[in-house]
Structure 1
Amino acid sequence: MSGEESGRLARALIEFREAEGISERELARRTWLSEATIRTFEGGRGDLPTPIVARSFEEVLGWAPGSIKATQSEAMGREPSADSAGDVE
């Protein structure tokens, strides 16, 4: 996730919590995620969330499905990687 994207998500999560007047613990409860996960993404460290984490954030923030880049889901349905291309000799 680019710094700009992770910063956008971090700001959105923090602004959402502040607007709702809720703690990280309450956001974790609402998203079914851990407080550590909330802190990680509010910190904007640039990590790509898993598809489940991305969808949870999209739902709570009211963002369209797929608006947050996620791990693995970006590769699914695309050409096989060099590792799985099947080097048949």
Structure 2
Amino acid sequence: VWGGFAVDNATLNRFFALHFLMPFIVMALSMLHLLFLHQTGSNNPLGIKSSMNMVPFHMYHTFKDMVGFTVLLMPLTFIALFFPNILG
């Protein structure tokens, strides 16, 4: 990342490029992890395969995450639109 003997334009350009690309790399690795987890399944400590306690991933967790996102986003949107001075 360091472009020379001192922090100069080359160093800053490389740092900014790395800073921009890092979220995409993390997101790609997370999606790859979820893909492999979905294909192989998670291990339980006893090693017994039981589908009795399984919850479908897509509908349950997707809905739960959407509700949580909405619960967090709605008050923030309300504050940002009607009381913007509170946020600074």
Q: Report 1 or 2 for greater relative contact order, CA contacts < 8 Å, sequence distance ≥ 6.
A: 1
Question: Do they superpose with TM above 0.5?
Answer: no
TM-score (norm 2): 0.30
Which structure carries more helix by proportion?
2
Return the index of the structure with the highest Cα Rg.
2
